[in-house]
A = this chain, B = another copy of it.
Amino acid sequence: MSDRYRRGIDIAEQLANDKLAHFVKSGVAEVAPDFARMVIEFAFGDIYARDALDLRSRELIAIAVLAASGNAGPQLRVHVESAESVGISKAEIVEILMQIALYAGFPTALNALADCHDLLTDDNCLAGACG
């Protein structure tokens, strides 16, 4: 187990109560175990681990870019679920999804709001019970 992997798992678990780590390890790990490891190493062990930007900023960016892409629903949900752990409120997530309408259009923003509807209304979801 590389240092990059260990550092990546630490950050992924800190962010998401095991959510992120489970996500990349689950289905993907079965068909592409090296890739599941690389995602942890590179995304969390290399990029997120850098001090020059705080985790709250990194999660704002992740949510905004994933929502704006229009086809990263599963990843968007994982990051929305982990947002509370770095101090991003539900009200702020709604603002992020509204703002991306400026850059990615109204349908993309509306679909992101619909995709995350339960996470943004149900308190239990942010506590990890909606998966």
A residues apposed to B, CB below 8 Å: 24, 27-28, 30-32, 34-35, 38-39, 42-43, 46-48, 50, 52-53, 57-58, 60-62, 64-66, 68-72, 74-75, 91-92, 94-111, 113-114, 116-117, 120-121
Contact = CB atoms under 8 A, between A and B. Distances in A.
A24 B24 CA distance: 28
15 contacts: A24-B110, A27-B117, A28-B113, A28-B114, A47-B99, A50-B98, A53-B92, A53-B99, A60-B61, A61-B64, A64-B64, A65-B68, A66-B107, A75-B107, A101-B105
Given A39-B110, A57-B60, A92-B53, A69 B103 contact: yes
Overall SS of chain A's interface: helix
Contact of A65 (B30, B65, B72, B116): B65
A105 B47 CA distance: 13
Contact of A52 (B46, B57, B72, B92): B92
Contacts of A58: 99
Contact of A75 (B97, B110, B116): B110
